[in-house]
Structure 1
Amino acid sequence: MPHAIGLDIGGTSLKCVVVTHDGHVADRVSVALDISDPQWPAFVRSTFESRRRYAEIMDDYPDSIRVGVSAPGIARPDGLSIWWMQGRLAELETIDWRTYLGSEIAVPVLNDAQAALLGETWLGAAAGQRNVALLTLGTGVGGAAMVDGHLLKGAIGRAGHLGHISLDPGGSPDITNCPGSLENAIGNCTVAERTKGAFDSTLALAAAASRGDPAALEAWSRSIRALAAGIASIVNVLDPETVIIGGGIATADDALFLPLSSELDRFEWRPHGHRVKVVAAALGEYAGAIGAARNAMLCDK
């Protein structure tokens, strides 16, 4: 079977997968990146090209190999590069990955959350579904949406940034200038502020809440209530079959999903008792790379 390569470029690592068209992940690797090095994009290329297994695959399938890229930021409308980055990884802006990797064919580029959603709807937690929303809970809150089988991209590619919906118009602005955003209510970037310095990570907050710490319970309950309000709003706008929760905070498991389910019982609109499924992401740290490979396959059609 022909193969596709998916590259997921992050602030601290390059993840790479080799996937067949029938969905078999033939190989995967994660390599640390040092973004303090001004030449780190060259390191991305040298890392990619130095991996003998991928060079061998490209030799074995010279006419059928496809490469796709996943990266933070907004992809250009033609999908050939990242054209806008919010205050980080500016080195990625405007790189034409076809030229950069020396490919004879186009190398399509997707926003990392959009790529993760594409991977999850192909091989992951919502395989085969056509209406799905994704939230990645980490330092910030990433997001993506699939509507009637199509990734929602919008006029300039910023559609699906679900972490930047407003829950409180009187709240502090987030990095997009959105007041009282979902990202500020649940993201790791604000946990110290939200807990008055008591915790420096959301996972530590969730663990303390699970142990019954009163202050942690109060702060964690506020965070979960905000997340539930955000999901209920997303459900009302997009009407998904499933909402996927990924990212580091999702590893809190029952400490996250049990109270979230209770809050959604209060907030979610359920005509005729229809309840949207809220599930954990299934593909882990390689979701973006798998989605990038899938995007390369689809762009080949």
Structure 2
Amino acid sequence: MDWFYAIIYGIVEGITEFLPISSTGHLIVAGNLMGVPWSKEIRDTFEVVIQGGAILAVLAYYWRDFAGQARVIGHDRPTQRLWLGVIVGVIPAVVLGVLFGDVIKAHLFRPSVVAWALIVGGVLMWVIENRQAPPVVHDLKQIGLGRAFLIGAAQCLALLWPGFSRSASSILGGMVMGLDRPTATRFSFYLGIPTLGGAALLDFIKSRHLLAEIGLLNVFLGAAVSFVVAYLAIGWLLRFVSQHNFKGFAVYRVIVGLLILLLVASGRLANGGL
């Protein structure tokens, strides 16, 4: 059944990684509901590593943009500032991940924690949408280093509180900093490349002996499914944010969070370490 779990994990990861609804939260709950017989260490590592498939989807989706930027980055100052902003934006996540990543993974990856993160994040999303000032940044190259750092700091909320959603925290942070929705969403994708890609590679190197217990082919299967589904999800989300706000996601988060709390309270969903 390991191949089946790998496929389901890949589908869930691909759908939820870039939508502001928390991939970590959905993966934790999906694994718990399926009763996946892997150890907690294997599950945690598998969930991080298959994020690599989602990151490859970003690279594939934007390959023309990246190729064009690579050709001019040596002499084009706006492109240089954009990627310097990405580097500056990822620094807070790197620091927090190194200092607290293992502790958070060991103690906070529980359905009840995820549920409250979904609910609080949904409420915050609704409030920001209602109070959003007219955006002043409509292009990635206009973001600047100060905004990039603050968006990266906002992204860290997802690291400290599993279930809040990296994409939600970075997109909402971008909107608060004056970015319009499409630009905030695209910058969230860009930030995800080093943030998630580095985490996936590091976990694979550190814990490949654990993944060998379920078969590296199953790991690559999960990552491949994640790649395909995430590629489709990226295109859908970009089309969605060009015409809609995030209030629908806010409502979804609150409903799912309440449902998880109900399942935990009824004993149908275990709330201990996975």
> Greater share of helix residues, 1 or 2?
2
Q: Which fold has the larger relative contact order, with Cα–Cα distance below 8 Å and residues 6 or more apart in sequence?
A: 2
Between structure 1 and structure 2, the one with the greater Rg is 1
Coarse TM-score class (shorter-chain normalised): under 0.3
- Give the TM-score of the pair, scaled to structure 2: 0.27
> Greater share of strand residues, 1 or 2?
1
- Give the TM-score of the pair, scaled to structure 1: 0.25
